A and B are shown apart, each in its own frame.
Chain A
């Protein structure tokens, strides 16, 4: 993945507006967090292949990390801490944020076909 280029990502997010898309949304600090450090908490959530449509997409950020909000008919999809992006060979938009060791902390991915 490469550092987010906000104009390009904004344009791609908008290209999916009002279409039926599949979303992967995830945040994690790993299954070993409280094993390695007893003061840490294990926290994580993911939803894979949520089928939805959004009417408005916006990416906002300070040049390093970004937030994305997708406005749906009845609610929102939100991700914070995104820093990297890529369009992969399956033409899926992948956005992710990594810690300083390169471990994934958050991911928001959008695809017109279901994720495998």
Chain B
């Protein structure tokens, strides 16, 4: 059993869409989980549907949503204070040192983060790379396992099948609650019909197809 799981993603809602089922499973087993959330998603495009947020009010709204999602998932939250869209331009070593400070304190047995270069958003790629650097700097005997999440369209071709495939359908309702806590962001992402999806399915079934499996690659040092 894991001792403590640390989730390292840059945006409020990355944890909900990407790993909420896995997180819920760990919490169900009594494993403590901490989310190190890089930014407040200050530059998000979704302003609620119908629109109720604006560029200046969005960070405060997303902060409240993030806190609520972490309550839903029953996990600890640390907000790291970086700015959305800018992580890749910061000093990578400084971010790695910042993350390592948390890891040294929490001493997790597992870290969940994005797979650098295969996680679509530049913030995902940069924050994932910094997280992996932070773990790499730890002594091998206390180093946590890393589960890296890839979802770019070319990730299967480049990386092969992920070795961790969590069917999270038993925790799907919890995951949906976590996603819905991010009210300003959730509706469109959940309901949007993607070109490759069966239009006969209703929104929840589509969401289950898309979000019912959480996949990770165990990072090899």
Contacts and interface: CB of A to CB of B under 8 A. Distances in A.
Interface stretch (A5-13, A32-40, A56-64): A32-40
Contacts, number: 62
B137 interface: no
B56 interface: yes
Given A31-B121, A38-B153, A88 B45 contact: no
Interface in B111-143: 120-123
Nearest to A90: B56
Given A31-B120, A31-B121, A103-B188, A88 B47 contact: no
Interface residues of B, number: 23
B49 A102 contact: yes
Interface in B55-85: 55-57, 59, 85
Interface of A: 1, 24, 26, 28-32, 35-38, 46, 84, 86, 88, 90, 92, 94, 96, 98, 101-105, 107, 109, 115-116
Interface of B: 43, 45-51, 54-57, 59, 85, 120-123, 152-153, 188, 194-195
